[in-house]
Each structure stands twice: as structure tokens, then as C-alpha cells.
Amino acid sequence: METKHHFSSRIGFVLAAAGSAVGLGNLWRFPYLAAKYGGGSFLLIYIILAVTFGFALMITEIAIGRKTGKSALYAFSNLHKKSGFIGILASIVPIIILPYYCVIGGWVVKFTWEYLTGNGRAIVDNNYFENFIGSTGEPLLWLFLFILFTLFVILLGVNKGIEKVSKILMPVLIVLSAVIAIFVITRPGAKDGIIYYLKPDISKFTFTAFIAATGQLFYSMSLAMGIMITYGSYSSKKDNIESSVRNIELFDTLVAILAGLMIVPAVFVFSGGNEEALAKGPTLMFITLPKVFDSMKGGQIIGAAFFILVLFAALTSAISLMETVVSIFVDKFKTSRKKTAIAIGIYTVIMAIPSSLGFGIWSGISIGDKTILDLFDFISNSILMPIVAIMTCIFVGYLIKPKTIIDEIESSAPTFKSKKLYVIIIKYIAPILLAMIFIGSILDVMKIIEL
Ligand code: PHE
């Protein structure tokens, strides 16, 4: 039996968890949502939700992980025998997400490579992106590389792999975000774009916007997929969980806001104030942005810096996903970490293939207008995650009781400062918000509302 792995320091744990939280969600989805749903007013609501709702859910998962020392699969049953099914559902989520996340990771590696080898101009061609993701061999090669690197870090271990890599990549990521944002907002004409991004427009802040903000937050903080439970199980019994969560949140929200500052004004200026240009989906990142960079002086360098930033964000998120899946299987089958990791690596490659080919030779396979990748994304993000999160709140609020979590926090801190707020959120507010996200996704699919 191997001994349990641990992060060696609080900062290592915070950076690894922030590495998981900061991902593609921060870099393309957040800026787009903020621009669409009222700029400053969206930002304000998002921040309020982050320090209340997001805070409560994240602290819950980390405390559950640390208290039980288990992965999501057994953490719930460890605290309450009959609740094992929540662990099973929570474990299915990263198992579904990991392969398709690596497909997008592969695209990012390819774009980074093109910029670094001086091909940044080639990708501006209108059909470049679609031709690339629609081809058969090339995307598979890049996703294979992405998976290989992720696996390599996992094999190095929690402390020598994940923690070390996060300690290097995360500071670089923050610096790059700040540098790119400053570069963009000092370009001529950027002012209108900044105003568009930051100025509150209450009329755009609708009920749908509120659901979108809640959904975004919950995805952005890597909640309801067992990740924070696994990372919590590796954290030290001496760390102050409350302040760690505050730090992780700060990191995640800061990068999201900076991403908005680098993307919204740039796209806004480039497209002459056309809001459609900020449209949803990978097209913003892989088609519009390269064009925007191409139109700027020094744009090739900024383009390279931007894709390195995205690559680092995607890697640390993929690492957290793979680690979570590995920890689930090690818990279940008591196999060695190394063998399990290699098996999961092979699984990831095999399952990523259909998601990748779904944009090309297998594009005929689709349900409604969803490609294979979209389908996996929908099942995990829109169906399973809200269900797992609601059940987690009910589990804590009414079965094991908030006191169990509060005691865990207070075992390593003089006091749990936001204790009262925590209880109210976990018992009443979070389940309602989560039910709204869930109903919102269903209505979205039925095309009754558009998120
Ligand atoms: N939190 C990540 C983001 O904001 C998303 C993520 C998804 C991370 C799946 C890990 C696993 O993009």
C-alpha cells in the first residue's frame, strides 16, 4: 500500500486548486458572458456570488476531502453510509469531462505551436480552424501530446508533479494575464471597449443573466466534479481552509476579470463595436482573436503570449481532472498509482478520439445540433453537475449537518469567520440557485430560453 500523498505547503495547495479553477472557462466564457449580460452589473453580481455561493460550495468540498482523506467516490459514504450514490455520481463527471477537455487542450497546443514557430499569420485564414479540427490525424496528434504531458505530471506525483508544476505555471499565468491586459487596454481606441465591458447596464441584467452567472461561477470554480474533494484530501490538517478558499477564489476571479479586459476591448475595437463578434463558442478564441492579434502592431508576440497563457490554464485544469480520476480508481481498486495513471491515460486517449472525430469524419453522429463533444459537455455540465451540487448541499445541510464541516474548519483555525452565512447558504440559498441552473439548462435545451 502506498502512503497517502500530500501537498507540501499551503501555498502549493492553493496554487494547485487555483490551477484547476483557472481554465478555459475564465479565458473565453467569462469575458463573453460579461459582455453579453450587462458588463459592470454582471461583474458585480458575479463577485457577490463568488464570495457567498461559490465560497460555501468550495469550502464544503475541500473540508469533506480533508476530513475523510478519500476521493469523491468514498468521501460521501465515509461520512454517511447511505449517501454513497452521491460519490458515484460525482465520480462520473470527471471521467466524462477528462477526454473531451483534452481535445480542446490539443487545439490550444496546436495554436501555441503555430505562434511560436512564426506561423501566427497562417491561422488567420477564414477556414483554418474548421479545416484543422475537421481533419483526422492532426488533432489526434496534438491531443495525444497534451495527454502525454498531463500524464507525465501525474506520474511525478502530487508533490513533485502537480504542486511543482502549479508553482511554476500559475505565477507565469498571472503575469502574462496582466501584461496582455495592459497591452490591449493601451491600444488606440480601446477606451470604448473598456467602457462597454465595465459600465453597468442594468437593463441587460435579466433573470437569464443571473442563471448564467451562477452557472459560470460554479463551473469556473471546478465544483461538483470531485476535484476539490480530491485536492482537499491532499491538504494538510493544519491549513486554514477558509483563508485558502478565499485565496483560490481571488485568483480565479482576478484571471476572469483580466481575461475580459484583454478580450472584450480588443474584439470590440476590431469589430467596430459589433457585439456579435463576441459570440459564444470556440470561434471567439480560435478564429476572432487571432484576427484581432493580427491587426495589432506586435500582435504576433501578444498572440503567442496569449496562447501560452491559455495552454497553461488548460494544462493545470486537465491535470486536476486526471488526478481526480486516478484517485477515484486507486480508492476503488487499491491498485498502484502508477499503473492506474497509465491505464487512465490510455482510457483518455481512446475516449478522446470520438470527440475529436466528431468535428470531421464522424460529424454525422449528432443528437439535435450537438456534436459528440457537445453532448458529453451537456451531460456532465448541464445535467450531472447541478444534480451533484444540489445533493451535496442537502447532504451537508440536512444529513451530516453543517456542524460537521464547521468542526473540520475549526480544527485548524481559531474560528470559522463566515460560519453563520455558510449555514444559510448551504441549507437554503445554494439548493435554490442550483435548482435554477438545472431548470435553466433544461429550458435552454428545449429552446424556451437562451443561455
Ligand atoms: N474550472 C475550469 C475553468 O474555468 C473548468 C474545468 C473543467 C476545470 C473541468 C477542470 C475540469 O475552465
Listing DSSP states for 336-388 in one string gives -HHHHHHHHHHHHHHHHHHHHHTTTTTTT--BTTB-HHHHHHIIIIIIIHHHH
pLDDT of residue 394: 97
Q: Within its chain, how far is the Cα of 283 from the centroid?
A: 18
C-alpha cell at 336: 498502484
In angstroms, the Cα distances linking 33 to 47, 280, 368 are 14, 8, 24
Displacement of CA 388 from its chain's centroid (Å)? 16
Q: Which residue has the higher pLDDT, 40 or 283?
A: 40
Question: Model confidence over 192-228: pLDDT tens digits?
Answer: 889 988 988 888 888 888 888 998 998 999 999 999 9
Q: Tell me, using a 6 A CB cutoff, whether residue 20 lines ligand 1.
A: yes
Q: Which atom of ligand 1 is nearest to the CA of 252?
A: 4
HSE-up (13 A, CA, CB side) for residue 275: 9
Cut 0.85: pTM above it: yes
CA of 425 to the centre of ligand 1 (A): 23
Give yes or no for residue 317 CB within 6 A of ligand 1: yes
Distance 16 CA to ligand 1 centre (A): 12
Query: What is the model's pLDDT at position 1?
Result: 38
- For cell 500500500, the residue is 1
51 vs 373 pLDDT, higher one? 51
Tell me the average pLDDT of the chain.
92
- Residue 80 pLDDT: 95
Least confident piece of the model among 2-6, 13-17, 84-88, 352-356: 2-6
- Relative to the CA of 220, which ligand 1 atom is closest? 4
Nearest 5°: phi and psi at 69? 70, 20
CA distance 70 to 225: 14
pLDDT of residue 4: 66
What is the reported pLDDT for 204? 85
User: 428 or 286: whose pLDDT is higher?
Assistant: 428
CB 36, CB 278: distance < 8 Å: yes
* CB-count exposure of residue 113 (10 Å: 0-12, 13-18, 19+): middle
**Which of these, 444, 430, 340, lies nearest to 61 by C-alpha position?**
430
In angstroms, what is the span from residue 321 Cα to ligand 1's centroid?
Answer: 8
Q: Which atom of ligand 1 is nearest to the CA of 222?
A: 1
224-233 in b/e form (b: 16+ CB < 10 A) is bbbbbbbbbb
Whether 259 has a pLDDT exceeding 90, the answer reads yes
Domains and CATH numbers, the chain: 23-361 (1.10.4160.10)
pLDDT value at position 311?
96
Distances from the Cα of 315 to the Cα of 300, 306, 338, 428, angstroms? 22, 14, 20, 35
Q: How far apart are CA 109 and CA 154, in angstroms?
A: 19
Q: How far is the centre of ligand 1, averaged over its atoms, from the C-alpha of 23 (Å)?
A: 5
CB 74 less than 6 A from any atom of ligand 1: no
pLDDT at 279: 67
What mean pLDDT is predicted for residues 292-310?
A: 92
Decide if pLDDT at 451 tops 80: no
Atom of ligand 1 nearest to the CA of 26: 4
Q: Is the predicted pLDDT of residue 3 greater than 70, yes or no? A: no
**Best-predicted range by mean pLDDT among 124-133, 142-151, 216-225, 361-370?**
142-151
Strand, coil or helix: 127: coil
User: By 3-state DSSP, what share of the chain in percent is helix, strand and coil, each rounded to 5?
Assistant: 80, 0, 20
> Would the pLDDT of 280 be above 70?
no
pLDDT for residue 2 is more than 50: no
Residue 78, pLDDT score: 96
Least confident piece of the model among 30-39, 62-71, 111-120, 133-142: 30-39
Does the beta carbon of 230 sit less than 6 angstroms from any atom of ligand 1? no
Q: Is the CB of 24 under 6 A from ligand 1?
A: yes
φ/ψ of 416, rounded to 5, equals -95, 100
Amino acid 26: pLDDT: 94
Q: Is the pLDDT of residue 368 over 80?
A: no
Residue 151 CB contacts under 8 Å (≥ 6 apart), including other chains: 322, 341, 342, 344, 345, 348
Q: What's the pLDDT tens digit per position in 401-431? A: 999 999 999 999 999 999 999 999 999 999 9
Q: Cell numbers at residue 403, please? A: 456542524
Cell matching residue 249 = 477564489
